[in-house]
Structure 1
Amino acid sequence: MAEFSRRPGEVVLKTCTCLTVRQASRAVSQFYDEMLTPVEISSGQFTLLAQIKLKESSTISALAQRLLIERTTLTRNVRLLQERGLVEVVGATSDKRQRMMNLTAQGELLLVRAFPSWDEAQTQLSDALGKTGWNGAIKAMEVLIAGVAQPELVTTVARVPHRTRPGRSAVPDLPGRLTQLQLQRLRSQLCMCTSLRRCVRTISKFYDDSLRPLGVKISQLHIIAAVGASPGTRITDFVEMLTLDQTTLTRMFQRLSELGLVTQHRPESQKRGVWLTTSGEQALKEAFSGWKAAQAAMDAILTEANEAHVGEAMSAILNAASSVSRLQESMEG
């Protein structure tokens, strides 16, 4: 209980499971994004193209369920791929109301061009983490997802990334198409970036459900908590603290300002930074109770996970983020 004797903002920043996973996901996503920059595609777009390829003629609903993403969000992301001519969405033969997705020739070509960069990101991260570290991180995320989704903890067997030996292809490899070996690699591996995103979506919804009666989302609470813990800090300094890009952070601060929860104008201070308003302080105080309830439930899931021999779950996820930081430093060096 000593943790809760400190200011609410500090407690949230230092102990929130959701924030930990979100920060790890952002760090890993940034690494994959950097690796995919030469082919002008984001890690999220690569995931969509790969999933559509692996499950040809899949529906929006089915894909949303696999990725644990809201259908409206997925529809918007798929539409962006449609506008680039990478994906086609057509009515099913049996039921025109069902919308089926497939890659266009241009979409498959881009996936072929992007695959080596994604594969290199997977290899570098798996080598940096090692077999035990990779297994631990993947297992931890699957356990968290299962624990949040089900009343009883359901553990799953983590799949270890491996390099598949070439074999004979049943279908000849054609120019502009993924080889059979590449398809097998996509099927046999769990993408660290995708796994973290699935985990973030599930856990964020769990915390959002606890905070909904208070009118605050967990992403907003993290920012309010950061401002409450470090009043007067400049917006740019929160980039590293929350592992958010400047554009997203600025947009979120603007929204919180419109809600009257934060301000950059404090007449009695000459310091240029961000403060909580009186309403913001009250919102943090009220949301803290909802957050504690969600955090306690998440702690119980992690405790049960460790009893199921999952190991140090959060440490494994944090190691994934720290490994990415080391890789990025070595690349810059």
Structure 2
Amino acid sequence: MSKPAVVPFETTLLVRDACLCLHVQRAARALARRFDDALRPVGLTHGQFSLMMSLNRPVPPRKGDIASLLAMDHSTLTANLKPLERRGLIESEVDPEDRRGRLLRLTADGMAVLARAVPVWERAHAATEALLADGDAGRLRSDLVALSESESDKINHR
């Protein structure tokens, strides 16, 4: 009979204290709660705000471009679009250049909700940046972008 594998408790402590993935996940959850709480009075979650903001363009984007920008697969994006479509905040239409694709746009109601949400986001964002120990939000952003781009490069080359 073989002896069961054992991971020393010291390894658990090392992962708890050093794991970048764990710390980013915890921070992401805390940020999500912070922005969800802030945006609740305008009837949006942080994810819906980001999705609607990604549609705020002069030319309606393709669904695939939004999925890529938000690092979502198509089925996840579709699931996130449905509540906004039911509320009449966004709409989709057939892409005239590729009839298999869809273009996404904010409706007038969607623009109105987004306009009410932006000042809320601005206040929550400023308060969040003020919490950073060294006040260097730009450095944190660039580091996170570098990590996300290296991962999206891997995904896009599969």
TM-score class, shorter? 0.7 to 0.9
Give the whole-Å Cα distance in 2 for the aligned partners of 1:89 and 1:131.
43
Q: What is aligned with 1:140?
A: 143
Larger radius of gyration: 1
CA offsets, 1:13-56, max 9 Å, x none? 33322111010011111111111121111111011111111364
Give the whole-Å Cα distance in 2 for the aligned partners of 1:51 and 1:99.
15
Q: What is aligned with 1:53?
A: 56
Q: What is aligned with 2:76?
A: 73
Q: What is aligned with 2:4?
A: none
Q: 1:141 to 1:114 in 2, by over 3 A?
A: same
CA offsets, 1:51-75, max 9 Å, x none? 1113641111100111111221011
Scaled by the length of structure 1, the TM-score of the pair is 0.41
Given that 2:92 and 2:104 are in contact with CA atoms closer than 8 Å, whether structure 1 keeps it comes out as: yes
Structure with higher strand content: 2
* Residue correspondences, number: 149
Give the whole-Å Cα distance in 2 for the aligned partners of 1:150 and 1:64.
14
Q: 1:130 to 1:22 in 2, by over 3 A?
A: closer
Give the whole-Å Cα distance in 2 for the aligned partners of 1:56 and 1:113.
22
Deviation at 1:131, TM superposition (A): 7.8
Give the whole-Å Cα distance in 2 for the aligned partners of 1:104 and 1:9.
49
Give the whole-Å Cα distance in 2 for the aligned partners of 1:89 and 1:144.
31
Given that 2:55 and 2:105 are in contact with CA atoms closer than 8 Å, whether structure 1 keeps it comes out as: yes
Which of 6, 9, 14 is the equivalent residue of 2:9?
6
Q: 1:146 to 1:108 in 2, by over 3 A?
A: closer
Q: Per the alignment, in what secondary structure is the counterpart of residue 90 of structure 1?
A: strand
Highest RCO, 1 vs 2 (Cα 8 Å, sep ≥ 6): 1
Q: Which moved more, 1:11-20 or 1:100-109?
A: 11-20
Q: How does 1:99-248 map to 2 (within 5 A)?
A: 99-129=102-132, 132-149=135-152
Over the aligned positions, Cα root-mean-square deviation in angstroms equals: 2.4
Give the whole-Å Cα distance in 2 for the aligned partners of 1:129 and 1:10.
24
